[in-house]
Structure 1
Amino acid sequence: MRVMQEELDATVQECGNKDEENRNLSSRLKEVEEERGRLQRTASLQQSQIEKYKSLSEEATRKSEGLQHKLSVLEKELENLKRAQKQASASQSSMEVRLNRALEESERCKMELNKLRQSSKDVASQEHKKLEELKTDNKRLAKQKEELMAAFKKQLKLIDILKRQKMHIEAAKMLSFTEEEFMKALEWGQS
């Protein structure tokens, strides 16, 4: 009986220990349940956040793809613009070379034009001098012509006068002959 009492006491004590352990386990279970509820709420909150972040990530991916596409388009445009700029630069340098050549040609033509103008002025001056000399010569020749015409007219008058004098002399000779003959005839008639 005493052994049984001891076993009973041991069993009661073990039951007490088990009850205590059960209470501890029960409180621990309660804490675990609360913790599980908290964790489930946290998990559901995190799941909703994950869903939200997932949708944001998908949207960001779509935006990134759109931006990537725009970036590739802009890179192509940039390449085209660089090519166009290179072509424009080459064309501009070519135009500048042509412009410089045209300016040099223009300067050369200006210099030639100035030379031609100067030579034209010199020629005009020489022509003017020649013209003045010719006018002077013309006036001198006209004066000489007038003098020659006046001398010619005087010579004609002198010739006319000399002809008249010759006629008068011849007439006088004729008269003198006739007079002599008349005198001879008179003398012959008287004798």
Structure 2
Amino acid sequence: LSSVQTRAAQMADLTEYEQDLLRRNALLEERAAASIARAKAVVEGSAVLASQEWSAGEIAGKSSLFEDAMLKLARDEVEHFAAGDVTLDSVDYESDDPPPPPDHEEWPDENDPEPPRFSRHFPATKSARSSRPTSVRSSVERVTRASRDSAPLEEFGRDAPAASFAKPEEDSAGRLARARIRALQDELQAQAKELREAHARLKDRDGELKSLLTEKLNVGKQVKQMQVALDKEKRAASDAKAVAEAKERELAETKKEIERDRRSNKAADAEAKAKDVRLNRALEEVERYKHQLEQAREGQRGAATGLKGENDRLRQEVKRLERQKTELVAAFKKQMKLIDVLKKQKVHMEAARTLQFAEEEFMRTLDTDAR
């Protein structure tokens, strides 16, 4: 279970890392699109400046102001780009129409130390806000398409000022725009390279994630198998416990029956002993009476008439003794039956002892399995 939890934590870390790569990918794409849009805006601004119908004196007077304004605008763009303030929410880089040129205020006098301020207005369309990248592959395609779109910009920025400005100082804005475009293209290539590297790392992480998912499935199967085996063992233990409880109840009933038989045997033994005593006494009396009878017979030989009544009395006594003997024989038979019952009870006790031994062995086996 601990290994499963570790794998789950690793998968969560990989998922978080993948989300971080996607966020960085989106940021790189935003920066690339913003760089392309700014390059387009610079080229369009230089073209508008070149298309103005000024005199040679006005161009000579305003060229330095325009160059200062472009330098300030470039510094502002670099600062915004370094701070990460540029987002895709204000740029529609998928549109085929170029963005409008930067608006400018009225040109001030030559003595005005404040250069002209350019305000950038990019169309914030719905497609730009809803087209955020969802994968590294789409990001690479967007950057590639943006790099293709930037190729004609350099030619346009290189040709447009040359058609309108004849003096070298008049072409400074075009050179600045071309240099800035080249810098933006270099930056775009660096960002595309970083994006490809992020894509490669994401592929590696995808492979690791797949292997971890496969291992998770295998561990899940093993856990299920172990759970099934555990359920079987629990059912077997429950059945064994039920059998043991039934054996315990049977043993308790057997012990109670043995106790009842022991008590009855004790009573039967006492009764048999009393009967034996009575039988011995009766036998002694019979022997004594026989002896007396013999003596009487010897005495009656001389006086038969006088002993006739005594003989009858002795015969009656003998009959009485025979009846007692019959009773004693019946009691002896009952005693033999009682002995048979005691033997059966002894067999029951031995069976109970054997059952108790088997129960102890079974409980010892259960304890060994539990350990």
Identity %: 15
Q: Which residue of 2 aligns with 1:6?
A: 57
- Tell me if 1:110 matches 2:266: no
Q: Which residue of 2 aligns with 1:49?
A: 201
- Tell me if 1:148 matches 2:299: yes
Q: Which residue of 1 aligns with 2:185?
A: 29
Q: Which moved more, 1:5-14 or 1:104-113?
A: 5-14
TM-score (structure 1 length as normaliser): 0.57
Q: How many residues align?
A: 145
Q: CA deviation at 1:76?
A: 3.0
TM-score (structure 2 length as normaliser): 0.33
Q: CA deviation at 1:93?
A: 3.0
Q: Which residue of 1 aligns with 2:281?
A: 129
Output the aligned Cα RMSD: 3.3
Structure 2: gaps of 5 or more residues = 1-53, 64-164, 303-371
Alignment of 1:63-78 (within 5 A): 63-78=215-230
Greater share of residues in helix: 1
Q: CA deviation at 1:117?
A: 1.1
Letter in 2 for 1:16: S
Q: Output the CA distance in 2 between the equivalents of 1:110 and 1:23.
A: 119
Structure 1: gaps of 5 or more residues = 153-191
Q: CA deviation at 1:7?
A: 6.5
Q: Output the CA distance in 1 between the equivalents of 2:202 and 2:188.
A: 25
Name the SS for the 2:183 alignment partner.
helix
Letter in 1 for 2:176: E
Q: Which residue of 1 aligns with 2:248?
A: 96
Q: CA deviation at 1:146?
A: 8.7
CA deviation vs aligned residue, 1:136-188 (integer Å, no higher than 9, x gap): 4344445x359628x84xxxxxxxxxxxxxxxxxxxxxxxxxxxxxxxxxxxx
Q: Output the CA distance in 1 between the equivalents of 2:199 and 2:256.
A: 81
CA deviation vs aligned residue, 1:17-44 (integer Å, no higher than 9, x gap): 222333333334333333443x14xx32
Q: Output the CA distance in 1 between the equivalents of 2:186 and 2:207.
A: 37
Q: Which moved more, 1:102-111 or 1:84-93?
A: 84-93
Query: Could you say if the C-alpha distance between residues 132 and 17 of structure 1 is closer, same or farther in structure 2, counting changes exceeding 3 Å?
Result: same
Query: Could you say if the C-alpha distance between residues 33 and 76 of structure 1 is closer, same or farther in structure 2, counting changes exceeding 3 Å?
Result: closer
Q: Output the CA distance in 2 between the equivalents of 1:53 and 1:132.
A: 113
Q: Output the CA distance in 1 between the equivalents of 2:253 and 2:224.
A: 43
Q: Which moved more, 1:112-121 or 1:7-16?
A: 7-16
